[in-house]
Amino acid sequence: MGLLLEHSVALVTGGSRGIGRAIALSLAEAGADVIISFRSAESEAKSVVQRIVDLGRQAAAYQVDVSNFEASQKLVEGALAKFQRLDILVNNAGLTKDTLLMRMSEADWDIVVDTNLKGVFNMSKAAIRPMMSQRSGKIINITSVAGVIGNAGQTNYAASKAGVIGFTKALAKELGSRNIQVNAVAPGLVETDMTAKLTDEQRKALAEHIPLKRTGKAEEIAGLVRFLASHDADYVTGQVICIDGGMVM
């Protein structure tokens, strides 16, 4: 029996650390060749590429700001030039600039929405042409439970992630006839660099609101993404799957 994603090519934005890193490695373990993009963490990106190569897969890393339309187009063109096809796009790149709305600057709003939402538009628009030519493809957008239920102090982040959910459903309807599945994964509180800043007391208090009484692991998010990227999920499209320990019910 072959590997789940053997002969597939995946592109993971924001793949140098955290959830993106776990996703890139999980797809490679399942047999995919993987391209990652990163914004600033070059040494971490090189480490991920080496890990993928050690797994026996091909890999590449490109420094790209996904909020830039032309740069996103060039990223996909570079992936196609190297691998001749693109089967899986994981729109994971994102950032936060948390503060209450009354204190939020226009710049804090713009950079979050431009990266988290416009970045998904930029990358998806670039990726759908080769996928339509292949008449197959998987687009998996990493949203957040904040986009489902909101979160005080994150109006910019919640709005961007809610936008990703609407985008996912609309694009799934556009591309369904071309055998391209588009889904969204909404993580809850996951152990990453972003949550590492929390104190033990803060982490414990947050966990009290989670039915499973713990935070999630990046590898658990990656496992769901790997399923959605596989042929086992060929009849799943337009879905928003919360992976949050039961936080959103």
> Cβ of 97: how many Cβ atoms within 10 Å?
16
CA atoms of 6 and 8, how far apart (whole Å): 5
Going through the chain in order, the beta strands assigned E by DSSP cover 9-12, 33-38, 59-63, 88-91, 137-142, 180-187, 240-243
The tally of CA atoms less than 13 A away on the side-chain side of residue 165 is: 21
DSSP symbols for 99-118: --GGG--HHHHHHHHIIIII
235 is catalytic: no
**Strand arrangement, sheet containing 33-38:** 59-63, 33-38, 9-12, 88-91, 137-142, 180-187, 240-243
Find the catalytic residue in 157, 168, 185, 245: 157
Among positive and negative, which fits the CA dihedral 163, 202, 105, 111? Answer: negative
Catalytic residues: 157
